[in-house]
Structure 1
């Protein structure tokens, strides 16, 4: 790898060369929590106003087929940071307080819970630190068993143990920060019109940007927005969003609260980007914004995509993905090539001119730098894989959940253990329970995944099934097994 030979000519107009100081780009990675593919105005949302993220899209590149590595938080974050799929990592679900198995009355038993991202895995932060970057992390981690409190960082497996030099825990102004105080679960008269509470987590990131930097930096800002609890204390914002939602919408109240959270997220991203510009860092900073998984089904609903967070239909894994680097990406560029969250580690490594020998040899991701340079560039077709050998929801909620996973129906439906391969226009979903048939979809003609072509396209089905099985076997994926405690209901 010699990325400097590829990358530096693009900066010629800006007079950037390796002969002058260390002018490698800074990297700002902004990760939203549970933000759906259609939640932003720049992705077609008609109810919510997101001017700051829309501007980021207008100034850079918007990807239409970007995917989170998993349909659930911890698994996705582990894959973002390592460039490896949850199947390869053996980290496919969320962290828990204690080891054990899912409390689900079902025919299969999912693998045991993974509690921590192993410190033996090399993260983006560790790769970039070795390349000479200053590293910082603020926000939601969720990659270790809860320490001291819900989502608390472990001293042995938290960000400082995974390559981040600067890191501070803070819920910010997200409802997590006050949800244990029931008297605060209401509109606050202290919040004036057109004002929002200061977000401590964003404040930490802004102070880092304003600091002195003698070398390029990698800053990861991991928002808690828009994860549940879905709530705003700003009545003016709630009421403004509510006016845009038709009176006839069955979830109008929920969508107003959720929309207020989306617009709050946009506001804090705007604060961060404004600080970047004020510090004179905007032109030489690669900014990447995306979400850890698809949106919650009980709120905006992800239509026209089927499914949601927790399952592997498009609504659970297709996410917003915006990239800006002014010296490289022309404003208002759109890229329709499928990309995935596991691509970030190799991409950032190439931008940072990290030594190839410093990268893990078993990465699943691929640098998307060629697409940033030219969105219609030839990008050798490759298979993308997902593996979710778990059930959702857990406990009695699983028994009560609807069987069918629909489109914008407002329900958290049953997710059963399954894996996915996407190859070109085709997507195969393999289910592991006996009697649950596999599904094959042609996404360009069937984005909502309504017409199962498994029976009508046996040759394509067979090839994809074979490649999916081979991949899972090659990376030692953990599989669901017969549940010894299951009592079949005749």
Structure 2
């Protein structure tokens, strides 16, 4: 106990000697757990050998690697959870929002009626239909002296709602962010657009006109503009919060010509090579950020958090698609509550606080970013509209070995998605406590049980052999879902609701 108190005293003293730390969230879109040369498993895989991400390697070497970091199955739920600290089951933005207001992105289903989820996403203003109203992270930080910058993908809310504009969400600077979920093009020579019948594409990236007609790749453009925006607070010695949210590595698969040749020469087909070039371009952006911090001599007082919003897109060649992401050994991919859809590459660096080369196996989840960042900033008891579900992972920075196997994590996806390529993603939810994970398939009204410590690929359903564990987890799972008053599907033919997990467990 004395040693812990002394260690905390050293930590607190170090904090008091410095100004409020700068904070950077480096957020990547659709990046799977295996789409990097940094291994997040207990071994290096062939997929880790495929990609070239030297700046992620540097971040891991100089910071902390999280091997059990989670997001939601799709993008908007993760983004809303990050800026509010609320679980998706609780804020009810359970699927990706359409750029168009009041448009439900759920696909019709033959068996289940759609639920009334918040199809317009997050709103900083109360009373906006089909939105979750809350106090956003950048707004809180701005109120406490931070200069807040958004660059890249926002996708917090649909067009015409307050949440579609990052400046309404609390960012003092917004670069290229609005309601769109992916770019029409990554190519400056195409004006980051792909015109349809001569008209601008709905997903054309806005606000980057100075790069139109150039060879500047989108990933570079939003990085360059983000770092230029930081010159002001750096010069004024004001702490900043940069949310650098890349459109990469989401489709379209536009090749980054600076990097693609090496992957073609390595034997990858053109599709996989394009994807790998997007990954390396994203990593180059990370290197530019690290270089900026070094150049301005502010690295020691800057916290960097690297994260992805959901798992890699899982495609199925049998349906005519061509696979370019590979989540193995994890099961499934984006849109799924299996590990391939929710387990993410996550890194953190804070010189003088995090011991270089640290690794933590403690599981964390996307809503934890909110309380953690407020802890880092020293914000105590902020005035919030919402109840925060996340838990600060700041203690892991000093002691990565800390374990809390009693904590429960929830994923709730009462939606149906049919991606252009890949398997249909059907209604499902999941619950993790310790090494055990319970998955509930609404359509089948069936529970699956996995031990992730022994079976990271979720290949062996242990429900039949462990009825006691199923009953225990199903009870806890149901209690939490009911506490949050979640939306719950109803069968079309009977008008009856899908039974709760604990009802299945009692059969």
Q: TM-score range by the shorter chain?
A: 0.7 to 0.9
Q: CA deviation at 1:461?
A: 0.3
1:10 aligns with 2:23: no
Instruction: Identify if the C-alpha distance between structure 1 residues 142 and 417 changes in structure 2 by more than 3 Å, giving closer, same or farther.
Output: same
1:60 aligns with 2:82: no
| Corresponding residue to 2:171 among 153, 159, 164 | 164
Helix, strand or coil at the partner of 2:31: coil
Helix, strand or coil at the partner of 1:109: coil
Q: CA deviation at 1:99?
A: 2.3
Instruction: Identify if the C-alpha distance between structure 1 residues 240 and 131 changes in structure 2 by more than 3 Å, giving closer, same or farther.
Output: same
Distance (Å, rounded) in 1 between the aligned partners of 2:494 and 2:249: 36
Q: Identify the structure with bigger relative contact order (alpha carbons < 8 Å, sequence gap 6+).
A: 1
Distance (Å, rounded) in 1 between the aligned partners of 2:56 and 2:415: 33
Distance (Å, rounded) in 1 between the aligned partners of 2:166 and 2:391: 24
Q: CA deviation at 1:483?
A: 3.4
Helix, strand or coil at the partner of 1:199: helix
After superposition, the C-alpha distances for 1:369-425 in whole angstroms (9 at most, x for unaligned) are 11011100244630000000011217xx6xxxxxxxxxxxxx611221111100000
Helix, strand or coil at the partner of 2:478: helix
Partner residue in 2 for 1:150: none
1:111 aligns with 2:118: no
Distance (Å, rounded) in 2 between the aligned partners of 1:122 and 1:380: 30
Q: CA deviation at 1:75?
A: 1.0
Q: CA deviation at 1:358?
A: 3.0
| Corresponding residue to 2:140 among 120, 127, 150 | 127
1:23 aligns with 2:35: no
Query: How many residue pairs align between the two structures?
Result: 441
Q: CA deviation at 1:168?
A: 2.0
1:319 aligns with 2:358: no
| Corresponding residue to 1:282 among 299, 306, 311 | 299
Helix, strand or coil at the partner of 2:300: coil
Distance (Å, rounded) in 1 between the aligned partners of 2:299 and 2:400: 22
Q: CA deviation at 1:177?
A: 5.0
Output the TM-score relative to the length of structure 1: 0.83
| Corresponding residue to 1:308 among 315, 333, 340 | 333
Do 2:134 and 2:386's aligned partners in 1 also have CA atoms closer than 8 Å? Answer: no
Do 1:172 and 1:201's aligned partners in 2 also have CA atoms closer than 8 Å? Answer: no
Do 2:121 and 2:163's aligned partners in 1 also have CA atoms closer than 8 Å? Answer: no
1:130-145 correspondence to structure 2 within 5 Å:
130-145=143-158
Do 2:84 and 2:386's aligned partners in 1 also have CA atoms closer than 8 Å? Answer: no
Instruction: Identify if the C-alpha distance between structure 1 residues 178 and 17 changes in structure 2 by more than 3 Å, giving closer, same or farther.
Output: closer
Output the TM-score relative to the length of structure 2: 0.81
Do 1:295 and 1:315's aligned partners in 2 also have CA atoms closer than 8 Å? Answer: yes
Structure 1 unmatched ranges of 5 or more: 148-153, 184-189, 247-251, 398-410
Do 1:389 and 1:419's aligned partners in 2 also have CA atoms closer than 8 Å? Answer: yes
Instruction: Identify if the C-alpha distance between structure 1 residues 378 and 116 changes in structure 2 by more than 3 Å, giving closer, same or farther.
Output: closer
Helix, strand or coil at the partner of 2:122: coil
Partner residue in 2 for 1:77: 79
Q: CA deviation at 1:213?
A: 3.5
Distance (Å, rounded) in 1 between the aligned partners of 2:256 and 2:403: 48
Q: Cα RMSD over matched residues?
A: 2.8
Q: CA deviation at 1:35?
A: 0.4
Partner residue in 1 for 2:451: 442
Q: CA deviation at 1:361?
A: 6.2
Partner residue in 2 for 1:151: none
1:355 aligns with 2:380: yes
Instruction: Identify if the C-alpha distance between structure 1 residues 477 and 198 changes in structure 2 by more than 3 Å, giving closer, same or farther.
Output: closer
Q: CA deviation at 1:42?
A: 0.9
Q: Which moved more, 1:25-34 or 1:225-234?
A: 225-234
Q: Which moved more, 1:100-109 or 1:221-230?
A: 100-109
Q: Which moved more, 1:285-294 or 1:38-47?
A: 38-47
1:340-351 correspondence to structure 2 within 5 Å:
340-351=365-376
Partner residue in 1 for 2:490: 481
Partner residue in 2 for 1:187: none
Distance (Å, rounded) in 1 between the aligned partners of 2:50 and 2:121: 38
Q: CA deviation at 1:110?
A: 2.4
Helix, strand or coil at the partner of 2:412: strand
Instruction: Identify if the C-alpha distance between structure 1 residues 109 and 134 changes in structure 2 by more than 3 Å, giving closer, same or farther.
Output: same
Distance (Å, rounded) in 1 between the aligned partners of 2:225 and 2:57: 24
Q: CA deviation at 1:244?
A: 2.5
Q: Which moved more, 1:57-66 or 1:209-218?
A: 209-218
Do 2:362 and 2:402's aligned partners in 1 also have CA atoms closer than 8 Å? Answer: no
Distance (Å, rounded) in 2 between the aligned partners of 1:313 and 1:17: 39
1:13-412 correspondence to structure 2 within 5 Å:
16=14, 18=16, 23-43=19-39, 44=44, 45-68=48-71, 70-96=72-98, 97-101=100-104, 102-112=106-116, 114-119=119-124, 120-146=133-159, 157-169=164-176, 174=186, 178-180=192-194, 199-211=220-232, 212-234=235-257, 237-245=259-267, 252-298=269-315, 299-359=324-384, 362-379=387-404, 381-393=406-418, 412=422
After superposition, the C-alpha distances for 1:272-325 in whole angstroms (9 at most, x for unaligned) are 221122122111001000100000113222111001001110000000000000
Do 1:11 and 1:327's aligned partners in 2 also have CA atoms closer than 8 Å? Answer: no
Helix, strand or coil at the partner of 2:395: helix
Do 2:123 and 2:163's aligned partners in 1 also have CA atoms closer than 8 Å? Answer: no
Instruction: Identify if the C-alpha distance between structure 1 residues 172 and 145 changes in structure 2 by more than 3 Å, giving closer, same or farther.
Output: closer
Distance (Å, rounded) in 1 between the aligned partners of 2:361 and 2:31: 20
Structure 2 unmatched ranges of 5 or more: 1-5, 125-132, 178-182, 199-213, 316-323, 496-507
Distance (Å, rounded) in 1 between the aligned partners of 2:281 and 2:141: 31
Do 1:47 and 1:245's aligned partners in 2 also have CA atoms closer than 8 Å? Answer: no
Distance (Å, rounded) in 1 between the aligned partners of 2:107 and 2:255: 32
Distance (Å, rounded) in 1 between the aligned partners of 2:153 and 2:191: 12
